[in-house]
Structure formats: structure tokens, C-alpha cells
Chain A
């Protein structure tokens, strides 16, 4: 290692050091949150700030578990996973039809994509009025249905790309052998594009897991998801930084784990298939 280092020119070393500093700067808020979550109150309400807690504690995590935490996690899990299942069930056939037959032409596919561009506040106003009349407010179905609009648009566009990469010759063989279109889709195509399906599902899950505006309006207490319960810590009367940080740390674990799994697809997923 030292011998190889000698051949590295100083410019490149500087670039690497700069990159390490930048990366640490971007990770700092997350690290700070974690460090706050294991500090005692005396250590976070102090001046100058304490960087590394001298007496790490798990009391804030225990507090979260004993209060609203578990119910919120449960709600988020139910809403996000049922939403993903529903979204995938309708998006897979639609994306397949667009990829193979250009069904509905440009208009149909752009109409689907445009759903992703809608301002959430414009959709939630009428959705709230309708769901109140249906007595769905503060139930899981309200959020599960509410998130489908955005997620379906997203999923269809991501899936089109995965289906287009799949060679049609294999499907043709199935068709000639007497499979129907639905049969080809389920028996031949889907098993092979599974990685693409997983990527799409994970992105949809993260969106539903992180969403705040719809959850704020469509839930009260029983069905409140993690972001809603987290937002309650923002109230000026209670500054429970340790508890808040502990809850936030737990809540970002699934998205962070997914980030490592999805890294090759992040651009594709986050830029709506606009850029590949």
C-alpha cells in the first residue's frame, strides 16, 4: 500500500480529501441526529454543544416504544406495504401494455406520468372531502388509496423501462406455444424482470413511508403514521430532542437500507425515468 501511494499525484489526493470532507458534511446532520438520540438531556441542552455523548443512553428509545412509537410504526408498515401491493398489481399490466403495444399512444402514457406532477395539496383537498363523507378518515384504506395516485404514475414509468429491456423473442415463443398475453406476462416475463419489480416496489414503499401531507390530513390518532407522530415533536411547548431524534433515527432505517440496495437505480427512480 505505501509503495503504491507514492505514485499518486498530489492533485488526486487533494480531490479525494475534498470529497471525503463533502461527504462528511452531507452525513453530518444524520450523525448529529443519532448522537442526540443517545445523549441525556443535560448533554443536548448545553452550550457549547457536546459532540460525542459521554454517557450514551437508550432511554429515549425506550420512551418512544412506550408511547406512540409502536403504533405509528405499525400503521406505516401496513399503509406502505398494502399500498405497494395495490400499486404493483395495477401498474405491472399497464406498464407491460405500454411497453409492448404502445397502448393508447403518447397521450395515455403521458397522462399516467402527469399524475406524478400534480401538486399534492390540490389532490388532498377534494380527497379529504370525499373520504370524510365515506367515513374513511383516520383509517388505513384512506392513506392506502390516497398514495396510489402518485405511486402508480411512478411505478408505471419505471416498469416500462424494465419491460422494454426484456427481449420480446422469448415472449413470442410463449405466444406461439399458445399462451395468452396475461399468461406470457405472468409465466415468462415477470419471473425474469423480478429485480426491476423489486426496485420499483422499494421506491414506492419509501414514498409511502416518508409522506407527510396526506397523512397529516387523513389521519388523527388511530391511523397516524410515523411522519405525523414525528411532526408532533415540532410543537413549541415540548422540546424533546432526544426522544425526537431516537424516533427519527428508527424511522430512517428502512429508507437508508434501501438506498444501499437501490444505488444503481437511484437516478432512474428519482428522476422519474426522465434521465437514464
Chain B
């Protein structure tokens, strides 16, 4: 940069009159005109478009085609056209498909609710005058950075019926006080789902804390002051002033987490393998089993498209209501 030339020095700049916030013209643009500028801008996004087309768009078109066929690697029947048959079976005949979907929704509702309540509580604690807030938030953030495989393995170990530090200790208390029979969370049809919820809560409550704390910290202080001056109590201030102002952060956090849980695979796959029985079989696990164990690719891709529809609808709501308000 040799010396600063004022941007509006060149009166022929059409950029300035059309879009004042955009860029000024360069000498290259002066020489080559609109076409050159257009090419130069487009060239910036060509790599990303080509790459995304190759690794997601084309594969998804391909899998849409597969989903309209019987594509069974085990029986070596490939590309036998069957129309919407796979979708019909999933929606109207396959109880296991619906079962896995409801299991996923139950995990999602339970985990996200607990994460939200815990997250909000802890975020409110951290919002006050806290010595070493950075220290606490950094340490609390650590579970988020851990691979779900690792968290599932840790909880698998801690929930072992006999030697697990959580389940074992619970059993010790139960037998000591004669509160009933010993139990094994991971092997119990009714309790296994709570093992998945517990692990998810451990891993993702920190994210809730961080999002809600960021929301609290970006809140203007005047309404809080005004409420206090008007004689509102702590609870009233929280319920009528803070919560409404936090609405967007809460909505974003809940929806983001819920979409993530809908897609969850690794955590229940490692923790319980979908069992005992099918007690913790999520939709992603069921699709995985169809594709890679039963080798019914056609059916698996059809179900994956149904899952895609669900997540795309929720994601669109997220993008329209949260992202769009923030940027672009």
C-alpha cells in the first residue's frame, strides 16, 4: 500500500453509486469492465461449489435414485426398480422404523429438556459477580470437545453394573439400606434409555450453558434496572424481563440441540449398541443396520431420505428464525 487514496476519488465508479457499502473499483476492473469483475467474483466461489457438489449434492441425488430401487447387496439384486415401494414399507409396514423414530424423539425431548434446565440454572449462577468466571466456563466447556465415542466409553465403564463407579455405588447404597434389588442400567429395558440421556446431558449441557450465558451477557442492563426501580422482585425480574429477552437464544439452543439429537448415532451405538433389545435404537442406528449389516441399501436410503426431510424442515426453521436475523 503506497499512500492512501480516497475511495471516492474516481467519479466514474458505478459501484459507489449502486452499492455504497460494497467495494470500489480496481485498475483491473477499470480495464476489463463488468465482465472481468463478474468473473473475478465468481471465481472465488467456484472451488466450494464444485467440492460440495462432489461430496454431498451428487451423492444425495445418487441415493435418491437408490431409494427407488431394490438394492440388496446380500441377495445381489441391484438397481431393480420398485418405485416408492421402499417408502411405503417404511411408513406403513415397518413398526421398527417408527419405534426407532420414537426412541430418538424420546431421547431428544428428555435430554434437551434436562440440558436446558441445567444449562439455564448454571448460566444464571455464572452471570452474577463471579470470581474466575473464565476459569469456570473453560473447565465446564471441556466435555463438548470430547469425541462422543470417548464419552460413551467412559459412561459405559462408569455404568457397569458391578465395577462401575456410578451404577456400582448405587447398587451398594441399595443393598446397604435394603431398598430393593440391585439393577444394571445398561442391561435394563426401561433404564437403558436414561443412560443415553445421562451421557448426552453430560456432554452437551456445557453448550447450553455457553449459549445462554452469551445471551445473558449481551442483554441490555436498562430493563433490568428499570424493573428493579419499579419494585419487581428477583423472580419477577427473571420471569417477566430476562426470559423474554433471552427468547431467541433459548429458541436457538433448543432447536440446535434437538436437530443434533435427531441425527445421533455414535453415542448410543457405543454406549448400548441400540440395546438391550431395541430399547435405545435410534433412527440413525436402524438405518445403519439396514445399510451395512442387512445390506438392504435401497431400503436404508429410503429411510435416510425420510430422516432428511425431518431434519431439513427443522433446519429451515432454525435458519429462517435464528441465522437470518443475525447475519446476511
Contact (Cβ within 8 A) B23 A171: yes
- Produce 1/0 per residue, B270-287, CB < 8 A to A: 100100000000001001
With contact pairs A94-B47, A118-B56, A210-B149 given, residues A179 and B26 touching in the complex (Cβ less than 8 Å): yes
Contact (Cβ within 8 A) A270 B144: yes
- Interface size on A, as a range, is 35 or more
Contact (Cβ within 8 A) B142 A259: yes
From 112 to 145 in chain A, residues with beta carbon under 8 angstroms from any chain B beta carbon are 112-115, 117-123, 125-130, 145
Which B residues lie within 8 Å of A33 (CB)? 150, 154, 157
With contact pairs A15-B130, A19-B125 given, residues A180 and B26 touching in the complex (Cβ less than 8 Å): yes
Asked if B196 is an interface residue, CB under 8 A from chain A, the answer is no
From 140 to 187 in chain A, residues with beta carbon under 8 angstroms from any chain B beta carbon are 145-146, 148-149, 152-153, 156, 160-161, 164, 168-182, 184-185
Asked if B55 is an interface residue, CB under 8 A from chain A, the answer is yes
Binds B, one of A58-66, A192-200, A227-235: A227-235
* Chain A proximity of B167: nearest CB distance (Å): 10
Asked if B214 is an interface residue, CB under 8 A from chain A, the answer is yes
Contact (Cβ within 8 A) A210 B148: yes
Asked if B243 is an interface residue, CB under 8 A from chain A, the answer is no
Which A residues lie within 8 Å of B146 (CB)? 30, 210, 252, 255-256
A109 vs B144: C-alpha distance when bound (angstroms): 26
Contact (Cβ within 8 A) B26 A90: no
Most buried by B among A171, A260, A267: A267
Contact (Cβ within 8 A) A263 B138: yes
* Chain A proximity of B184: nearest CB distance (Å): 13
Which B residues lie within 8 Å of A10 (CB)? none
Asked if B116 is an interface residue, CB under 8 A from chain A, the answer is no
A210 vs B266: C-alpha distance when bound (angstroms): 10
- Produce 1/0 per residue, A254-276, CB < 8 A to B: 01101110010011001111111
Contact (Cβ within 8 A) A212 B59: no
A178 vs B262: C-alpha distance when bound (angstroms): 51
Contact (Cβ within 8 A) A175 B51: no
From 204 to 241 in chain B, residues with beta carbon under 8 angstroms from any chain A beta carbon are 205-207, 210-211, 214-215, 218
A245 vs B155: C-alpha distance when bound (angstroms): 11
Contact (Cβ within 8 A) B323 A113: yes
Which B residues lie within 8 Å of A145 (CB)? 54-55
Output the nearest chain A residue to B65 by Cβ-Cβ distance: A126
A128 vs B23: C-alpha distance when bound (angstroms): 44
Which A residues lie within 8 Å of B263 (CB)? 119-121
With contact pairs A23-B140, A182-B40 given, residues A212 and B5 touching in the complex (Cβ less than 8 Å): no
- Produce 1/0 per residue, B1-16, CB < 8 A to A: 1101101011000000
- Give the contacting residue for B211; candidates A29, A120, A211, A267; CB below 8 A: A267
A165 vs B139: C-alpha distance when bound (angstroms): 28
Asked if A77 is an interface residue, CB under 8 A from chain B, the answer is no
Binds A, one of B82-90, B91-99, B105-113, B302-310: B302-310
Contact (Cβ within 8 A) B319 A115: no
Output the nearest chain A residue to B1 by Cβ-Cβ distance: A173
With contact pairs A15-B128, A91-B48, A263-B137 given, residues A130 and B153 touching in the complex (Cβ less than 8 Å): no
Asked if B35 is an interface residue, CB under 8 A from chain A, the answer is no
Contact (Cβ within 8 A) B288 A121: yes
With contact pairs A49-B165, A180-B26 given, residues A96 and B307 touching in the complex (Cβ less than 8 Å): no
Asked if B117 is an interface residue, CB under 8 A from chain A, the answer is no
A272 vs B26: C-alpha distance when bound (angstroms): 34
From 185 to 211 in chain B, residues with beta carbon under 8 angstroms from any chain A beta carbon are 202, 205-207, 210-211
Contacts A30-B154, A121-B304 aside, 4 further interface pairs with beta carbons under 8 A come to A188-B1, A267-B210, A271-B211, A275-B249
The 8 closest A-B pairs by CB, nearest first: A210-B147, A126-B63, A117-B315, A97-B44, A122-B304, A94-B48, A126-B59, A175-B26
Question: Can you list 16 residue pairs at the A/B interface with Cβ under 8 Å?
Answer: A16-B131, A18-B125, A32-B154, A48-B169, A49-B163, A103-B45, A108-B45, A119-B284, A119-B311, A122-B301, A125-B301, A152-B52, A230-B150, A259-B144, A259-B145, A263-B137
